[in-house]
Structure 1
Amino acid sequence: MKGILINYDYCTGCHSCEVACKKHLDLPKGEFGIKLSETGPYAYEGKPKGPDKWEWTWLPVVTKACDLCADRVEKGKMPMCVQHCQAWCMHYGEVEDLVKQIDGTTRFALFAPKQ
C-alpha cells in the first residue's frame, strides 16, 4: 500500500502542495485533494522567551479526492503535492518503508488514502 509521510515540524505553510494538487486534479473552488490545516500560534506560559514559547503548526491533510496521482505514479513520477513541496517535508512510497523513516525526533503524519 502506498502513502504519503509528512514531517510537519518542517512544513512552512506555503500551500504549494494544495495549489499543485488542485491544478492537477482540476478541482472546483472549495474542493481540495490535499488541504493545509493551520493551528496556532499558541503561547506556552511556562516556557521562557524564544522559539520554544510559541507553537504554530501547518499540516497538509489528504482528502477523499486524493488518488495519490495514480496517473503520474504509473509513469514513475511522484504525486504532485510531494513534487512541489518547497520544504521537502513530504515523502511518497510504500507505507512499510515510510514508517521506517519515523525516527521519534520530530512530528510526522502518515496518510494512506483509500484506493
Structure 2
Amino acid sequence: MSEQTCLKGEGKASANSQARAGLERRLKSEETSGYGLLIDYEYCTGCHACEVACMKELDLPLNQYGIKLLEDGPRQLPNSSKWDLNYIPFPTALCNLCENRVADGKMPSCAQHCQAMVITYGPVKELAEKMARKPKMVLFTPK
C-alpha cells in the first residue's frame, strides 16, 4: 500500500469552506473513480470495534492497526460549562479496504462491525458528496 488521502471536515466555517473547495477539485479529478470509507465521527462512541475487527481481518499483531481510534479532547468549550470529546476512527497505511472481503461481496470489516454505524463504504464520489453536506466527517481513499 502506498500513500493514502484523507479529507477532514472540521465544522468551522473556514475549515469547512476549504474542505468544500478541496472536495470540488477532487470530484472533478480522476481520483474519485475508486472506493473509500466515509467516517462520521460526530456519533462515534469510541468502542474500538473497528480496530478489533480490522486487526482480526488482517491478522495484525498487537499495536499494529489497519484502523486506529484517535481521541480528540476532552476540552472545555469556551465560555461554557460543556465539554467536547471526539473519537475519530482513522485508517492507517495498512488498510486495504478489506480487498478479499469486498471481492466476496462483503463490506470492509470495520464498517460491518461498527456498532454506531458511523463507517460507510462506497464509491468515493458519492461519499464525497455526502461529506460536503455535513461537518465532522473523514473520507479515506487509499491510492
Q: State the TM-score, normalized to the length of structure 1.
A: 0.90
Runs of 4+ in 1 over 3 A off after TM superposition: 103-106
Q: Which amino acid aligns with 2:36?
A: G
Query: Is this contact kept in 2: 1:62–1:113, CA < 8 A?
Result: no
| Shift in alpha-carbon separation, 1:70–1:15, aligned structure 2, 3 A | same
Is 2:40 the partner of 1:7? yes
- How many pairs align? 110
Task: Tell me the distance in 2 between the aligned counterparts of 1:56 and 1:21.
Answer: 24
Query: Is this contact kept in 1: 2:38–2:138, CA < 8 A?
Result: yes
Q: Which amino acid aligns with 2:117?
A: W
- Indicate which of 49, 58, 61 corresponds to 1:25: 58
**Secondary structure of 1:112's aligned partner:** strand
1:106 Cα deviation from its structure 2 partner: 3.9
Is 2:140 the partner of 1:111? yes
What residue in structure 2 maps to residue 58 of structure 1? 87
Of Structure 1 and Structure 2, which has the larger fraction of its residues in helix?
Answer: 2
Q: State the TM-score, normalized to the length of structure 2.
A: 0.73
1:15 Cα deviation from its structure 2 partner: 0.2
Query: Is this contact kept in 1: 2:131–2:139, CA < 8 A?
Result: no
**Structure 2 segments unaligned to the other structure (5+ residues):** 1-33
**Structure 1 segments unaligned to the other structure (5+ residues):** none
Which aligned pairs between 1:35-74 and structure 2 lie closer than 5 A? Answer: 35-47=68-80, 49=81, 53-74=82-103
Taking only aligned residues, the RMSD between alpha carbons, in angstroms, comes to 1.2
Query: Is this contact kept in 1: 2:96–2:142, CA < 8 A?
Result: yes
Q: Which amino acid aligns with 1:60?
A: P
Between 7-16 and 102-111, the greater mean CA deviation after superposition: 102-111
1:45 Cα deviation from its structure 2 partner: 3.2
**Secondary structure of 2:117's aligned partner:** coil
